[in-house]
Amino acid sequence: MMAAVIAMSGGSCSENGRGEAASDSGDFVMLADMVPDAILEIRYYSTYNFVGARIDGYEEPTAMLTRQAASALKAVSDDVKQLGFRLKIYDAYRPQKGVDHFVRWAADIPDTLMKKYFYPDLDKSVLFEQEYIYEKSGHSRGSTVDLTLFDMDTEKELDMGGTFDWFGPESHPDFCGNPETGEYTGNNSKSPTGRKITAKQFANRMILRRAMMAHGFKPLDTEWWHFTLKDEPYPDTYFTFPIKSTKK
């Protein structure tokens, strides 16, 4: 998800990088305008996240992406609707201020308020060392999104066998299976405490993965929910403007 980004092998976004900072939001769109069927559950605007507080830069419970990424996500939404699902968005564009908040939190070792919910198997002191936290995040480039699927029949999130932003190998797309072939193996040897996901839970992760990749998004090997547009328009730019409605 660390040091501006969190790499999640149970985290919240991992990809670090260097590049210029920019404050211009002109090429960004409100995700709700481009993908009206998407459900927004912006975790970093709430207190239910691995920090346990609203994250700096999240001024409204909304989501923004570059126009190109939002257009591609609209195509994903149209596809999964035919399968009976809607997209649920946890995070999209993340201002650098938010990444900086993660870094400060990770350095504050005694603050383990949300440990039992998001990183029970880890000592907080290893978050930098094990690359769960970075000083730059791909989210700040504006074409990365964290999401899951919502089942319109059950009116619940699809069971992915683990929560968004779980820090651990259980969040890896290859946990208990081969994401390249879609085969479930049940191999949970990477889990430090013997956790496991079922064949159905693995298959559900693959539904999301296939839908995203079919429309130009590339997955992350440590987080089943994290995808970045392959042809992102700002591969070297990390934006700083806060998240709020552009109509205000």
Place of tokens 């290893």: 126
> How does DSSP classify residue 243?
B
DSSP string, 3-58: -SEE--SSSSB------EEE---TTEEEHHHH-TTPEE--TTTSS-SSSSSPPTTB
What gap in Å lies between CA 46 and CA 152, rounded to an integer? 24
Annotated catalytic residues are 223
Structure-token pair, residue 215: 């429309």
Residue type at 141 in one-letter notation: R
Nearest to 63 by CA among 105, 99, 93, 23: 93
Give the torsion sign (CA, 173, 135, 243, 217). negative
